[in-house]
């Protein structure tokens, strides 16, 4: 007897089939906020917190004549600096029905959406703390980030020219500049391409490859760079914005001890008053970037984003 060669599908069978929907929700959007996570945090009490910076006179030969009368010097005058606080907030609404029905991947829609919006808020804060260039009281207030604070030490490539590739010499030049000013940089923020360039440095100041003898692996990434002016940890940052055009970005060499997150209002998650058949959620915080002494850090601007 010949075998059956056709598939039997009764009419309407599809109405009896169950749908398959996984309870696993996949989200690969990056949430690592390496700068904000590595600096200290303090409370501030005003919308424009201020602080003082100071410096010593250059070292010199201090020999004086025996029996010399006192020679008075002017006292040290401090510099008063400040930064405006910035409000960050997220809102969303969930209908009462959506909160009540059975859902795939989460029990509470409010809890699930809250976790996502809090991550977005942290990403926004990280971006601003790095890239904001001005501090302003204009509505809405804005807090100046690294891109605005670091002015003493740095280098800027000219876009559109052949020499826009981050070099080991320039990297070390800026480490030296920070050290000369009295800084002790220990942290580097670099985008993906610049992180790879640093990993490819081959000067005498560090070892570019590490051997894992047990597993017979060569590790090409560089997390620590040992220079003549100390060891810095190199972090790949996902939130460094573009410089003068989309093809260029900055590398930041930081004395992280000189930066703090100043918090005027801590992070709050609140349910707003109901005005209908939904629940409204608000998340907010108010913060600024405290820069105790920008001379301790450096910025290399307009590094080309290509290998």
Are the C-beta atoms of 163 and 157 separated by less than 8 Å? yes
pLDDT for the residue numbered 65: 83
How many residues does this entry show for the chain?
Answer: 307
Residue 8 located in a structural domain = no
Residue 27 located in a structural domain = no
Q: Which residues contact 140 (CB under 8 A, 6 or more apart)?
A: 86, 87
Q: What's the total number of domains in the chain?
A: 1
Residue 173 located in a structural domain = yes
pLDDT for the residue numbered 25: 46
| DSSP 8-state secondary structure symbol assigned to residue 260 | E
Residue 113 located in a structural domain = yes
Per-residue pLDDT tens digits of the chain, which is 307 residues long = 555 566 555 565 555 555 555 555 444 445 588 999 999 999 999 999 998 888 777 777 888 888 888 887 777 778 899 999 999 999 999 999 999 998 888 889 999 999 999 999 999 999 999 999 999 999 999 999 999 999 999 999 999 898 999 999 999 999 999 999 999 999 999 999 999 999 888 875 554 445 455 555 444 456 889 999 999 999 999 999 999 999 999 999 999 999 999 999 999 999 999 999 999 999 999 999 999 999 999 999 999 998 7
Alpha helices in the chain (DSSP H): 34-38, 96-100, 109-131, 146-149, 168-180, 192-199
Residue 111 located in a structural domain = yes
Residue 69 located in a structural domain = no
CATH number, domain containing residue 122: 3.90.1690
Are the C-beta atoms of 151 and 301 separated by less than 8 Å? no
Distance CA 213, CA 142 (A): 50
- The strand pairing partners of 190, in sequence order, are 236
* Element holding 225 (H helix, E strand): strand 224-227
Check residue 230 and give left, alpha or beta (phi > 0: left; psi -120 to 50: alpha).
left
- The strand pairing partners of 262, in sequence order, are 42, 288
pLDDT for the residue numbered 14: 57
Residue 63 located in a structural domain = no
pLDDT for the residue numbered 63: 82
pLDDT for the residue numbered 286: 96
- For 179-199, the DSSP string reads HHTT----EEEE-HHHHHHHH
Residue 299 located in a structural domain = yes
| DSSP 8-state secondary structure symbol assigned to residue 218 | E
Peptide bond just before 140 cis, omega within 30 deg: yes
Task: Using alpha carbons, list the distances in angstroms from residue 133 to 45, 102, 108.
Answer: 23, 46, 39
Give the structural domain span for 291. 34-51+80-304
Distance CA 195, CA 70 (A): 55
Distance CA 250, CA 154 (A): 10
pLDDT for the residue numbered 207: 47
Q: Say how many C-beta atoms besides its own lie within 10 A of residue 21's C-beta.
A: 9
Distance CA 55, CA 45 (A): 26
pTM: 0.84
């Amino acid at each position: 007897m010949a075998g059956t060669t056709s598939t039997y599908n009764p009419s309407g069978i599809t109405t009896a089939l169950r749908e398959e929907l996984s309870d696993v929700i996949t989200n690969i959007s990056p949430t690592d906020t390496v700068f904000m996570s590595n600096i200290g945090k303090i409370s501030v009490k005003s919308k424009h917190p201020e602080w003082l910076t100071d410096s010593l006179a250059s070292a010199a030969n201090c020999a004086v004549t025996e029996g010399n009368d006192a020679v008075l010097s002017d006292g040290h005058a401090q510099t008063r600096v400040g930064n405006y606080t910035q409000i960050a907030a997220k809102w969303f609404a969930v209908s009462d029905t959506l909160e009540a029905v059975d859902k795939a991947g989460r029990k509470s829609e409010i809890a699930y959406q809250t976790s996502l919006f809090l991550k977005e808020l942290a990403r926004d804060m990280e971006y601003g703390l790095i890239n904001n260039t001005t501090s302003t009281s204009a509505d809405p207030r804005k807090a100046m980030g690294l891109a605005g604070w670091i002015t003493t030490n740095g280098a800027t490539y000219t876009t559109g020219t052949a020499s826009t590739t981050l070099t080991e010499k320039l990297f070390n030049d800026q480490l030296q500049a920070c050290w000369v000013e009295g800084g002790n940089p220990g942290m580097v923020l670099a985008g993906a391409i610049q992180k790879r360039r640093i990993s490819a440095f081959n000067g005498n100041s560090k070892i570019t490859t590490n051997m894992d003898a047990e597993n017979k692996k060569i590790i090409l990434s560089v997390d620590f760079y040992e220079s003549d002016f100390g060891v810095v940890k190199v972090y790949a940052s996902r939130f460094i914005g573009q410089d003068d055009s989309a093809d260029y970005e900055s590398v930041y060499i930081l004395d992280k001890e000189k930066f703090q997150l100043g918090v005027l209002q801590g992070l709050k998650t609140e349910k707003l008053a109901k005005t209908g058949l939904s629940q409204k959620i608000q998340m907010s915080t108010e913060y600024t970037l405290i820069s105790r002494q920008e001379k301790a850090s450096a910025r290399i601007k307009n590094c080309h984003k290509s290998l």
